[in-house]
Each structure stands twice: as structure tokens, then as C-alpha cells.
């Protein structure tokens, strides 16, 4: 019997991974202490996802443990030992805005928590595959200095530029404004790489763009498409911050992301780094996303524009996933932006009474 340890198992990526592997017959140990509600308030709680996982899968075991707690994490890994085949580390403080309010907690969760997990893996199951959910914020605001062209509904890169198909892993992480969140995630990213290269462990960093799907407990500070659709269906006012609302994000459905994880698990490498997002297949500007949400829901969004963009926020981001595709050519995406938002809308409508109460 295969065993996976998944951190952030009630969050968007973690819950998708937990459900996927549990459905495949794996035993899954989920580690999640609902810190999302601490970061963003009760409306962002992931407890509803945790309860759904526990009720649906008898082979899912939940551990309400803080990843910074070395004794608790070591206990989990020591008891399971070499039975552990796969670790998916998706727990994080995920907002660059929130990080500035409490840098010590941000660093502790994102960097120290990752260190605790890596060392537990090295000591008790060194042959296991370790997948880390990193972020494109490790590149800081360097993407904002790309040659961008203003179109009617979006910013777009000069088509003659080398990054016209997306931003690759070769973009520098130096001499840039990262946000404190970007720094804590970059430090963890480097640790994951180093444990692969120095100790020969099977590790990979997936530097995500906008990760999304119906399991996302989106809030204003984190969860772009999820929170946007939540506002549309619940009648909540929405704020657009800067760049004329034309800032571009690529969006990858959590199910497509988990398929990428599984490809890596089946043919792992050491200390790998992959930019991972919707790419040219699935991307939109803020204005375009609002229009699609209104079309799908049949509701009009109440929104206002704030001139100042969020500090360190990207004006244009589309991932170049060609490195990953070159290593795993059978992987393909199933969800474009419209299909993603249709799923999110359906899930949001089901939870409208809860959303309005919050």
C-alpha cells in the first residue's frame, strides 16, 4: 500500500492531491491546522474541505499539526518511516500583503516549516519524492520591467520578446522587490533544491502562478478567481487594485496541477525547478475575468477601482511551462479559464447562504 503525506491538506492544492491519491487507493496522511482562518478570518476557513475529505475517504487520516512543530512532524514521519512514498508540501502563508503584517510568522511557516519537513524526510524516508508548492513571487517584481503593450482589456508583452510564450525559470531572482512573502518562499524553494542536489533526494519546486479551482476558500488577499466569483454570486463588493484592471494572470486548475505532480512522482529528478501555471492555454486579465464571471453567473459585479497596485504585484504574468513539458511530454491541461470559472461558480452558488452569512 502506497502512503502520501500532504501538508495543507484542506487547502486548494493539498485537498486536490489528497482526494486524488485517496481515490487511487493510497493511504493519505493530511496535515493541516486551518491556519488560513488565522491569516484571513473565519470566511477563509478550510474546515469544510477537511470534513468532506474525512467523510468521503476512509483511507484519509487527518493530523491537525502545525508544520513548525518539529516534535509533532518528526513523530508522524518516524512512525510511518519508509512506508512514505510521496510528500506534497502545500502548506503556506500565501499572501504577500499579509506577510508584511507579521514577517516572523510568515518566515516561520514558509521557511522554517519547510526545513522541518525536509529534514524529517531525509531522516526517515529519504527515498520518498518531495514536491514543494512554490510561487512565481520568487522572481519579485522583475516581470514588471518587461516591455508591455496596453490593449483594450489587458497588458500584453511585446510579441517579439523572448518571453512572448511565457516567463521561464531562467528569469533572475536577484535585484528585485520580492515582498516578504516572496523572500520566505524563495528561501524554502532554495532549501528544497539543495536537499535534492546536496543529499541526492528526489525533490522539485513547482513555482505556481494563480492556482485555482472550486475547493479554494478565496479571500481578498488570496485566491483571485475564487474570491472574484464568490463576490459575484454573493453580491459582495470587489476592489481592483491598479494597472487599470488590465493586469494579466495565468490560471491553472488544481486538478491539472496534481496531474503534473503525479508525472513527476512517477519519474522523479533531484533538485528540479518548474514554472507551473496556465500558460498561454489559460490566462486572463482582471477585466476579462470580471466579464466572464458576469456572463457565467448572470449577475453583475459591484466593483470599484483603486489606483495604487499592491506592492510587488505583477502587472503581467504568464508561465512558460516548456521545461516541464520537455521532461514530461504526456502532461496536458484540461481546464481553461472559462471552464475553471464555470466550476467555481457552481460550487459558489451551492455555498451562497454560507458566503452571505460570512
What is the tens place of the pLDDT at every residue in 227-256? Answer: 899 899 989 999 999 999 999 999 999 999
Q: How confident is the model at residue 277 (pLDDT cuts 50, 70, 90)?
A: very high
> With 0-12 CB in 10 A as exposed, 13-18 as middle and 19+ as buried, what is 105?
middle
pLDDT at position 219, please? 62
pLDDT at position 64, please? 97
Q: How confident is the model at residue 350 (pLDDT cuts 50, 70, 90)?
A: confident
How many residues are given for the chain? 358
* pTM (predicted TM-score): 0.94
pLDDT tens track for 206-230: 999 899 988 776 666 566 788 899 8
- DSSP bridge pairs for 303: 238
* More reliable by pLDDT, 216 or 55: 55
Q: Tally the domains of the chain.
A: 1
- DSSP bridge pairs for 154: none
Mean pLDDT of 264-270: 98
Spatial distance between the Cα atoms of 31 and 3, rounded to a whole number of angstroms = 13
| Domain with 46 in it | 3-357
Q: Which residue bears the cell 524516508?
A: 125
pLDDT tens track for 139-167: 999 999 999 999 999 999 999 999 999 99
Spatial distance between the Cα atoms of 355 and 223, rounded to a whole number of angstroms = 15
CATH of the domain at 246: 3.40.50.720
Q: How far is CA 281 from CA 152, 157, 259, 284, in A?
A: 20, 16, 16, 10
Helix axes 254-266, 12-23, angle to 10 degrees: 60
91 touches 113 (CB < 8 A): yes
Q: How far is CA 148 from CA 81, 162, 164, 205, 315, in A?
A: 50, 13, 10, 28, 9
Cβ neighbours of residue 315 closer than 8 Å, sequence gap 6 or more: 143, 144, 148, 155, 243, 247, 248, 309
Amino acid at each position: 500500500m502506497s502512503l502520501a503525506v500532504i501538508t495543507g491538506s484542506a487547502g486548494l492544492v493539498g485537498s486536490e492531491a489528497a482526494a486524488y491519491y485517496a481515490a487511487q487507493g493510497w493511504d493519505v496522511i493530511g496535515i493541516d491546522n486551518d491556519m488560513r482562518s488565522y491569516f484571513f478570518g473565519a470566511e477563509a476557513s478550510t474546515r469544510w474541505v477537511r470534513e468532506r475529505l474525512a467523510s468521503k475517504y476512509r483511507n484519509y487520516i487527518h493530523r491537525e499539526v502545525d508544520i513548525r512543530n518539529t516534535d509533532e512532524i518528526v513523530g508522524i514521519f518516524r512512525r510511518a518511516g519508509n512506508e512514505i512514498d510521496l510528500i506534497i508540501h502545500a502548506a503556506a502563508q500565501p499572501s504577500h500583503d499579509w506577510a508584511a503584517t507579521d514577517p516572523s510568522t510568515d518566515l516561520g511557516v514558509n521557511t522554517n516549516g519547510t526545513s522541518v519537513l525536509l529534514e524529517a524526510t531525509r531522516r526517515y524516508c529519504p527515498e520518498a519524492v518531495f514536491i514543494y508548492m512554490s510561487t512565481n513571487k520568487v522572481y519579485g517584481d522583475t516581470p514588471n520591467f518587461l516591455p508591455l503593450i496596453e490593449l483594450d482589456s489587458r497588458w500584453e508583452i511585446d510579441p517579439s520578446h523572448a518571453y512572448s510564450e511565457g516567463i521561464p525559470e531562467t528569469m533572475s531572482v536577484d535585484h528585485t522587490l520580492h515582498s516578504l512573502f516572496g523572500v520566505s518562499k524563495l528561501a524554502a524553494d532554495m532549501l528544497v533544491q539543495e536537499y535534492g542536489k546536496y543529499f541526492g533526494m528526489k525533490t522539485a519546486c513547482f513555482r505556481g502562478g494563480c492556482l485555482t479551482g472550486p475547493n479554494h476558500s478565496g479571500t481578498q488577499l488570496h485566491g483571485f478567481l475564487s474570491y472574484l466569483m464568490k463576490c459575484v454570486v454573493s453580491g459582495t463588493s470587489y476592489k481592483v487594485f491598479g494597472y487599470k484592471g488590465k493586469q494579466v494572470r495565468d490560471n491553472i486548475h488544481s486538478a491539472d496541477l496534481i496531474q503534473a505532480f503525479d508525472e513527476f512522482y512517477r519519474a522523479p529528478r533531484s533538485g528540479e525547478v518548474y514554472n507551473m501555471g496556465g500558460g498561454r492555454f489559460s490566462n486572463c486579465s482582471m477585466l476579462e475575468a470580471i466579464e466572464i464571471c458576469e456572463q457565467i453567473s448572470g449577475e453583475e459585479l459591484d466593483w470599484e477601482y483603486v489606483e495604487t497596485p499592491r506592492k510587488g504585484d505583477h502587472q503581467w504574468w504568464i508561465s512558460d511551462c516548456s521545461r516541464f513539458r520537455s521532461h514530461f511530454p504526456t502532461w496536458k491541461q484540461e481546464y481553461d479559464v472559462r471552464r475553471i470559472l464555470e466550476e467555481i461558480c457552481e460550487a459558489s452558488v451551492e455555498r451562497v447562504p454560507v458566503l452571505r452569512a460570512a
